[in-house]
Structure 1
Amino acid sequence: MEQPEQNPGWYTDAQKYWDNVPATINGMLGGLGQLARPDAVASLRFLSEYVTPPTSSTTTSIQASDSSSDSSPKRPKLPLPGAGPSRVLDCGAGIGRVTKQVLSKAFDHVDLVENSKAFVDKAKEEYLKEEIESGKVTEVRQAGLQNVTFEGTSWEGRFDVIWCQWVLGHLHDNDLIAFFQRCKKGLKPGGMIFVKENNAKVGFVIDEDDSSMTRSDELLKEIFVKAGLRLLRDEVQKGFPPGLFAVKM
């Protein structure tokens, strides 16, 4: 199977695909809107092990560090004392489903980045309108993750957590490694990256329709190492119907 890096239209093809997806919860979840609740419940439970939310509320959690792996969290919950209001970045946010159902419940402020203009418009004008007006959502940027930068912008050193869910399969391996490395510049001291993605059993599976790659757990963990990240914990999402890819947090 040809590696996606060989396809020069990889990113533009993905953008064309998502431009034709309805800006709805069902659209975001590929017609499986019923997954939204168990997804949110598991994510909030997993986050609660690491984050002290404004109101009490499990993704792969990764700390930006070159240290060796340690599966048991032995650290204060974020945000760190004196760090100010907690902030999280929702990457590949779509219309803001994860922001509304998960991140806004666990953090004081949420920023979003999303590549589709239609989804950004829907988030701003309707789906997250209340959160934007209240100041819970502070910024919504339109950009692909392969182009997102932190250093030298208002997002440098801004976030307690950077959240990536069902989006990283759109990045080539080298671009994903580079994205994680740039994310370090967006984190506060002690900040963390959370990843929630489908997992192939072995190697990777290409979806030609939306230009995405479902990586195995082994491949994802190799990428974490290459990006200089330290894995703190991982867990399989429960409560999804059979026949789907496993989802690893």
Structure 2
Amino acid sequence: MASKINLNSEEVGSDCQGSVYKNIQEMWDTELSNKDTGSVINKIGSKDNWYSKQAQYWEKTEATVEGVLGGFGKLHKPDITDSRKLLELLHDKYDLNYGRVIDCGAGMGRITKEFLLHFFKNADVVDQNPKYIEACKQNFKDDKRVVHFIAKGLQELEFPEKYDCIWIQWVCNYLTDEDFVKFLKRCSEALVQNGFIIVKENIAQKGFIVDKEDSSVTRSDKLFLDVFKQADLKVVETQMQSNFPKELFKVKTYALVPAQKKQDEKMMEETEEKTA
């Protein structure tokens, strides 16, 4: 069973089969328990099952742009366009260094190839599916800028380097809240000074929605902010994705830094003002 991490939200959520939960912690306590409550259809049963169902789902998906985008290849261009704008903002406004980046949930390397390597000198790629990592190796076999190819889920990932940017897109919905918080804390430890964590994800209008076919949970903005707070992260910029079909989930991007870092910078500025 997932341990409690003191999420404050009492937003109601549901799953794709009609079960309703008074909050997201009740969902995890119910779904990941091996006890038979009789009130939930096709209960997941354990955290191992939660992650193994994901692996089975993505094993059936082709290592192509259409495959990794769920048949919505047309989203690729507007996705990359908006992400570029945010990265340029962080560079111009906060002096983000274009040194090393890691693409978490990289799939076959779509974002790394079409976006991140247009800015950063070096990149690493991570995906839980070995099939996708092999596709990455083929896609980047002649590009020495891509160094580490890591076939692991984010719940297990230990970062091999320090990074200027940790890019996490359309993969956080596969983490339990407990593992999401732990992962983000490891991200903080893997940042260089003035580095950024970027989370780009589908968001629910309110509460959360559990999809048992691929073991994912779509969280509301409030739930994301609760997780970031638990991970001691501060949101410095956000961006809503534009030019996506209205029938799809809205997509929001969060630019994050360690909260203590921003506090230390503020104290340093105040000290400099007093001594000036």
Q: TM-score, normalised by structure 2?
A: 0.74
The residue correspondences of 1:102-181 to structure 2 (distance < 5 A) are 102-125=115-138, 127-129=139-141, 133-150=142-159, 154-155=160-161, 158-181=162-185
1:91-114, Cα deviation, whole Å (9 max, x unpaired): 010000010111111111110111
Confirm whether residue 99 of structure 1 aligns to residue 112 of structure 2.
yes
- CA distance in 1 between partners of 2:156 and 2:28 (Å): 18
Query: Which entry has the higher C-alpha Rg, 1 or 2?
Result: 2
Which of 6, 22, 25 lines up with 2:65 in the alignment?
25
Equivalent residue number for residue 38 of structure 1: 78
Equivalent residue number for residue 15 of structure 1: 55
The residue correspondences of 1:192-211 to structure 2 (distance < 5 A) are 192-211=196-215
Confirm whether residue 248 of structure 1 aligns to residue 252 of structure 2.
yes
- CA distance in 2 between partners of 1:196 and 1:117 (Å): 23
Cα offset for 1:4? 4.2
SS at 1:234's partner residue? Answer: strand
Cα offset for 1:134? 2.9
What number of residue pairs does the alignment pair up?
213
Which of 65, 69, 78 lines up with 2:96 in the alignment?
78
Code of the residue aligned with 1:149 in structure 2: it is E
Code of the residue aligned with 1:218 in structure 2: it is K
The residue correspondences of 1:230-249 to structure 2 (distance < 5 A) are 230-249=234-253
- CA distance in 2 between partners of 1:228 and 1:242 (Å): 33
* 8 Å Cα contact 1:51-1:106 kept in structure 2: no
Cα offset for 1:181? 0.3
* 8 Å Cα contact 1:161-1:191 kept in structure 2: yes
SS at 1:232's partner residue? Answer: strand
- CA distance in 1 between partners of 2:64 and 2:250 (Å): 23
- CA distance in 2 between partners of 1:37 and 1:94 (Å): 17
Q: Which runs of 4+ in 1 moved over 4 A?
A: none
* 8 Å Cα contact 1:44-1:106 kept in structure 2: no
- CA distance in 2 between partners of 1:144 and 1:185 (Å): 18
- CA distance in 1 between partners of 2:175 and 2:215 (Å): 9
Code of the residue aligned with 1:88 in structure 2: it is V
Which structure is higher in RCO with an 8 Å CA cutoff and minimum separation 6?
Answer: 1
* 8 Å Cα contact 1:4-1:10 kept in structure 2: no
Percent identity over the alignment is 38
Cα offset for 1:178? 0.4
1:61-106, Cα deviation, whole Å (9 max, x unpaired): xxxxxxxxxxxx5x3x121xxxxx7000100100000101111111
Cα offset for 1:228? 0.2
Code of the residue aligned with 2:239 in structure 1: it is E
Code of the residue aligned with 1:44 in structure 2: it is R
